[in-house]
């Protein structure tokens, strides 16, 4: 994505993906009920187009607005989340798609005709990545609402893999490791592209720790449920108890029990809970309670990054567990398998320590609160980080619904600890 050709290809691919997600919904399905974790899909498409218009066409070329009356409507700072459900507030689907097409065609033309400077490349990439963040939220909205999976996803192919003992720990040796991405890099728009919260890089002295090779599976989480883990207050923190009680939580969000059999809703289908798949759609509080029950703990975000990347102070720097470039066949991302591969699958994505599926599958809860790294400076888009600092927990690694072009091992996402609608799970450390 560092030259015009690959940039145009990513722009086009992202454009097709978002249109496919919108156009595969019926007129009725686009009128989504209010839920705190989702957006109306037509607003989301207009908002993504607005981001290109604001940060590229208006910012770089001083272009006039497509429709000044709508600028505040598409701007997530100006339009409060619950107000996005007001009938008639934003244009209908045909008008929104006209705006989307007009904006994308102008951006495409700009890339084709103007010199590609580093500062422009940075903004193009930022806007494409922002669009891809909304692609992920359009996918989790389909899960929340019980709609069909994205049209591009594969049917689940069962590739059981028994080469690895389930959840055996690996030991990560003590040492001084690098965390994060360099700031003020000459390559800030190309190989060192990252978001504000990943920089500046620094080193940490880590003690030896043990972390599970695999994500916590449904089988492991079922032992917690069957031992009465949800009902037993001793496994829950004070805040966790408050969450559990107010949500009457007794199982992961999309599970139910029928005639003694646990079922899990996968988009629009109820399927038996499969033991070897990762547990997902669990809040931080559930992950924390499971750990207490199992005599384990969640990794800190630095432990997670070291286990995934193992970048030693004076060694080679890798952005991915297997090397320095994204290779999407190694991961469950881009809504292909949708977290329906066993936790032991995809050995080709292992980290140097043997940790599996650290990139993709599910976002992984860490025990770390989301704070800026020392020396942090904000990008042009405050929604990326600053609004989440202080009360969100860091999740790492991306999910099955994350776009593989978006992420690297230093990428930090942050969710409030009650979030369980997103594709989120966890792995654990020995105490
Ligand atoms: Fe946004």
What secondary structure does DSSP assign to 177-244, as a single string? EEES--SS-TTTTTTT---GGG-S-EEEEEPPEEEESSPPBHHHHHHHHHTTTTT-GGGS-HHHHHHH
Both tokens assigned to 293: 């029950």
Distance of CA 349 from the midpoint of ligand 1 (Å) = 30
pLDDT at 263 over 90: yes
Query: Which of 62-76, 214-228, 271-285 is predicted least confidently?
Result: 62-76
Under 8 Å CB-to-CB from 347, ≥6 apart: which residues? 161, 163, 164, 356
CA dist 104 and 107 (Å) reads: 5
Give the pLDDT mean for 204-233. Answer: 97
In whole angstroms, what is the distance from residue 95 CA to residue 137 CA? 22
pLDDT at position 152: 83
Contacts for 264 with CB less than 8 Å, ≥ 6 apart: 218, 252, 254, 255, 270, 271, 272, 273
**136 half-sphere exposure, CB direction, 13 A CA radius:** 26
383 C-beta neighbours (distance < 10 Å), count: 13
| Residue 163: predicted pLDDT | 52
Q: Which two structure tokens, joined as six digits, stand for 357? A: 């599926």
Q: Which helix (H) or strand (E) holds 414?
A: strand 412-415
Give the model's pLDDT for residue 305: 98
Cα(130) to ligand 1 centroid in Å equals 6
Say whether domain 153-431 belongs to CATH 3.90.1580.10.
yes
As a whole number of angstroms, the distance between CA 414 and CA 422 comes to 11
- pLDDT, tens digit, 9 for 90 and up, residues 296-322: 999 999 999 999 999 999 999 999 999
Give percent of the chain with pLDDT exceeding 70: 97
pLDDT band, very low/low/confident/very high, at 260 (cuts 50, 70, 90):
very high
167 pLDDT more than 90: no
Of the candidate ranges 194-198, 384-388, 402-406, the one whose mean pLDDT is the lowest: 384-388
HSE toward the beta carbon, residue 17, CA cutoff 13 A: 26
* Nearest of 408, 213, 231 to residue 325 by alpha carbon: 408
Please give the distance, rounded to the nearest whole angstrom, from the Cα atom of residue 206 to the centre of ligand 1: 35
Ligand 1 centre and the CA of 131: distance in Å? Answer: 7
Residue 124 clears pLDDT 80, i.e. is over it? yes
User: How close is the Cα of 16 to the center of ligand 1, in Å?
Assistant: 18
Instruction: Report the alpha-carbon distance of residue 308 to residue 356 in Å, rounded.
Output: 9
- Greater pLDDT, 213 or 71: 213
Residues 319-329 as b or e (16 or more Cβ within 10 Å = b) = bbbbeeebeee
Residue 380: pLDDT band by 50, 70, 90 thresholds?
confident
Q: Residue 223 is encoded by which pair of tokens?
A: 């032992």
Q: How far does residue 228's CA lie from ligand 1's centre (Å)?
A: 40
- What pLDDT, on the 0 to 100 scale, is given for residue 58? 96
Q: Indicate the angle between helix axes 41-52 and 93-113, nearest 10 degrees.
A: 30
The architecture (CATH level 2) of 4-145 comes to Up-down Bundle (1.20)
Nearest of 288, 283, 291 to residue 415 by alpha carbon: 283
**According to the model, what pLDDT value does residue 157 have?**
56
Q: For residue 155, is pLDDT > 80?
A: no
Position 198 pLDDT exceeds 80: yes
Please report, for the chain, the start and end positions of each structural domain, with discontinuous segments joined by +. 4-145, 153-431
What is the DSSP code string of 290-343? HHHHHTEEPPPHHHHHHHHH--BTTS---SBTTBSS--GGGS--TTSSTT-S-T
Tell me the β-bridge partners of 170: 211
134 C-alpha to center of ligand 1: Å?
A: 7
Measure 235 CA to ligand 1 centroid, in angstroms: 36
Say what the pLDDT of residue 156 is: 63
Give the mean pLDDT of the chain: 94
Tell me which H or E stretch contains 280: none
Is the pLDDT at 350 greater than 60, yes or no? yes
159 pLDDT band (50/70/90 cuts)? low
**Crossing angle of helices 284-294/238-247, nearest 10°?**
120
Structure tokens, 395: 């999740």
Q: Which residues pair with 278 in a beta bridge?
A: 217
Residue 387 has a pLDDT of 86
Per-residue pLDDT band for 385 (boundaries 50, 70, 90) equals confident
Q: 137 C-alpha to center of ligand 1: Å?
A: 10
Give 49-105 pLDDT, tens digit per residue. 999 999 999 999 999 999 998 888 898 878 889 989 988 888 999 999 999 999 999
Compute the average pLDDT of residues 195-208. 97
pLDDT number for residue 158: 55
Has residue 7 got a pLDDT over 90? yes
**How far is the C-alpha of 291 from the C-alpha of 269, rounded, in Å?**
30
SS3 for 262?
strand
Instruction: Return the closest-CA partner of residue 404 out of 345, 347, 327, 339.
Output: 327
Burial letters 133-147, b for 16+ CB under 10 A, else e: bbbbbbbbbbbbbeb
Q: How far is the CA of 136 from the centre of ligand 1 (A)?
A: 11
Question: How many angstroms is it from 43 CA to the middle of ligand 1?
Answer: 10
Q: How far is the CA of 56 from the centre of ligand 1 (A)?
A: 15
- pLDDT digit string, tens, across residues 329-343: 999 999 999 999 999
Please say whether the dihedral angle defined by the alpha carbons of residues 10, 46, 130 and 403, taken in this order, is positive or negative: negative
Given phi > 0 = left and psi -120 to 50 = alpha, else beta, which region is 54?
Answer: alpha
How would residue 384 be classed by pLDDT, with cut points 50, 70 and 90?
A: confident
């Amino acid at each position: 994505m560092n030259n015009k050709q690959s940039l145009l290809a990513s722009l086009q691919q992202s454009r097709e993906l978002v249109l496919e997600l919108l156009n595969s919904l019926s007129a009725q399905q686009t009128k989504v009920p209010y839920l705190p974790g989702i957006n109306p899909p037509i607003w989301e498409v207009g908002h993504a187009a607005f981001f290109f218009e604001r940060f590229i066409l208006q910012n770089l070329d001083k272009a006039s607005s497509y429709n000044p009356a709508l600028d505040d409507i598409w701007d997530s700072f100006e339009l409060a989340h619950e107000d996005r459900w007001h009938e008639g507030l934003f244009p209908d689907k045909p008008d929104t798609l006209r705006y989307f097409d007009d904006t994308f065609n102008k951006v495409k033309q700009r890339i084709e005709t103007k010199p590609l400077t580093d500062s422009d490349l940075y903004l193009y990439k930022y806007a494409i990545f922002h669009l891809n963040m909304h692609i992920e939220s359009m996918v989790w909205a389909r899960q929340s609402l019980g709609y069909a999976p994205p049209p591009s996803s594969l049917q689940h192919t069962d590739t059981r893999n028994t080469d690895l003992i389930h959840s055996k720990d690996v030991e990560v040796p003590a040492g001084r490791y690098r965390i994060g991405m360099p700031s003020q890099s000459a390559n800030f728009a190309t190989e060192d592209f990252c978001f504000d919260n990943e920089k500046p890089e620094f080193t940490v002295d880590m003690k030896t720790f043990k972390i599970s090779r695999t994500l916590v599976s449904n089988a492991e989480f079922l032992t917690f449920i069957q031992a009465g883990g949800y009902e037993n207050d001793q496994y829950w923190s004070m805040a966790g108890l408050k969450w559990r009680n107010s949500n009457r939580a007794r199982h992961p969000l999309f599970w139910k029990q029928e005639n003694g059999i646990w079922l899990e809703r996968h988009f629009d289908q109820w399927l038996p809970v499969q033991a070897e798949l990762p547990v997902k759609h669990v809040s931080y509080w559930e992950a924390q309670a499971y750990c207490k029950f199992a005599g384990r703990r969640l990794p800190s975000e630095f432990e997670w990054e070291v286990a995934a990347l193992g970048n030693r102070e004076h060694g080679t720097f890798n952005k991915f567990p297997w090397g320095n470039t994204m290779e999407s066949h190694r991961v469950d991302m881009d809504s292909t398998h949708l977290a329906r591969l066993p936790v032991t699958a995809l050995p080709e994505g292992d980290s140097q320590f043997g940790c599996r599926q650290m990139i993709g599958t599910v976002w992984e809860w860490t025990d770390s609160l989301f704070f800026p790294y020392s020396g942090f400076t904000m990008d042009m888009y405050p929604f990326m980080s600053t609004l989440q600092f202080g009360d969100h927990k860091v999740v790492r690694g991306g999910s099955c619904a994350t776009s593989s072009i978006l992420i690297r091992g230093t990428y930090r996402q942050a969710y409030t600890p009650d979030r369980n609608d997103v594709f989120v799970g966890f792995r654990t450390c020995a105490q």
